Amino acid sequence: MNGITKTNPLYNNNKLKLGIIGMNCSHGSTITTADNTWKMTWPETVEVAKMADKAGFEVLLPVARWKGYGGTTNFNNRTFETFNWASAVSAITEYSCIFSTAHVPLIHPVAAAKQCATIDHISGGRFALNIVCGWFKNEFEMFGAQWNEHEVRYEYATEWLRFLKKIWTSEKEINFKGRWFNSKSVWSEPKPIQKPMPPVMNAGGSVAGKKFAATQTDMNFVLLKERNMEGGKAQVDNLKMMAKEIDRNIQVWIHVYVVCRETEKEAKKYADYYIVEKGDNAAVNNLLKIFGMQSETLPSDVLNEFRRHFIGGHGGYPLIGTPEQNVDGMNDIIKMGINGILISWVDYKTECQQWIDEIMPLMEQNGQRNSKPSLE
């Protein structure tokens, strides 16, 4: 745990923490032309953010996206920028941890230090930073930014984060000289409320990514390569062991896409409707091509098996069924050693309210969450 101050619900004592991902993007995380997909307007964002905050969701996390993936939907083409989004959402919430997501090669650490500290003060110490090393080359070409080899991107991120930490923890002006940064007389006030710094997340799945997450971050956002208990637990155990070997502890979070209906038959029918019947295959093909050619998170044969999951929720873990079946599925997730889930739905507004009304009470009854969680 980086943050010593007890202001961030990321460190409460719930067995399974809850978050929402992708509210700042058109279509959220579902690559579909189905009716009622997330349109991403600010008034609806405010409504869902307040709803989740009041219900005790630990995390609201935006996705950093500068360009869509084409297809009929041009998936994620329309997005709110994440630092501005986090500032605004921090001001209208009281409990949830509000993330921003930053492509580290596209923002200087001096600017990031000021932006993050500002949001930490607006939120009252509830901010966290999700850092992305870069995997969508087309976005970098928009900025005219250098596109480094995979391992080099993590080396860059390590220096970037080291510079950021020095800015936040130094009580006087600093000079910083590294491989990529050479800055003089650096100073930034105010410092973050969370001491020594806000929590940091990264989605590191490759060898270099897992090492970076274990050594540099507080949370690893993982794409489960195997959807069975044994495989999922082995993956999570490995990630946590890498951190423990250097006397660190990290949380492991996953993305979950949810379909909840009164009967299992209805839930599966709706999943087939929006994934199979209405899935935007052109957009998902573009996305899979990017993962296969420009990312080393997953081998190509595994990516092909994930096609349904990418349409359903950007490669997430499916929870499809009745409220009781959703809760049973979360028991499995807890047994894998996972600390939190970032949820997406087709219709965030309606289905988030359903989650609060029908599933969260069952989670408390099942011992997965507390009615009044305390900070650890």
Cα three-residue angle 308-309-311, rounded to 5 degrees = 65
**Averaged pLDDT of the chain:** 92
Per DSSP (E only), the strands in the chain are 17-21, 59-61, 97-103, 127-132, 174-177, 182-186, 200-202, 219-222, 251-260, 317-321, 340-344
Q: DSSP assignment, residue 359?
A: I
Q: Is the pLDDT of residue 375 over 90?
A: no
Q: Report d(CA 320, CA 357) in Å as an integer.
A: 17
Superfamily of domain 9-365: Luciferase-like domain (3.20.20.30)
pLDDT at position 297? 57
pTM greater than 0.85 = yes
13: three-class secondary structure by DSSP:
coil
CB 271 within 8 A of CB 375: no
Which tokens belong to 229? Answer: 């208990």
Per DSSP (E only), the strands in 49-162 are 59-61, 97-103, 127-132
pLDDT at position 226? 83
> Domain-by-domain residue ranges, the chain?
9-365
How buried is 51 (Cβ within 10 angstroms: 0-12 exposed, 13-18 middle, 19+ buried)?
middle
Per-residue pLDDT tens over the stretch 153-177: 999 999 999 999 999 999 999 999 9
Q: DSSP assignment, residue 191?
A: P
Q: Report d(CA 75, CA 103) in Å as an integer.
A: 19
Task: Answer with the residue of higher pLDDT: 315 or 363.
Answer: 363
CB 29 within 8 A of CB 223: no
Q: Report d(CA 134, CA 321) in Å as an integer.
A: 35
Count of CA atoms in the C-beta half-sphere (13 A) of 334: 16
The partner residues of 222 in beta bridges, in order of sequence, read 254
Task: Answer with the residue of higher pLDDT: 1 or 311.
Answer: 311
Which tokens belong to 113? Answer: 């230090």
Most confident by average pLDDT, 70-74, 185-189, 205-209: 185-189
Count of CA atoms in the C-beta half-sphere (13 A) of 299: 4
Q: Report d(CA 145, CA 116) in Å as an integer.
A: 22
Q: Report d(CA 134, CA 296) in Å as an integer.
A: 12
Q: Report d(CA 46, CA 305) in Å as an integer.
A: 36
Q: If pLDDT is split at 50, 70 and 90, which confidence band does 200 have?
A: very high
Q: If pLDDT is split at 50, 70 and 90, which confidence band does 251 have?
A: very high
Mean pLDDT of the 20-37 span: 95
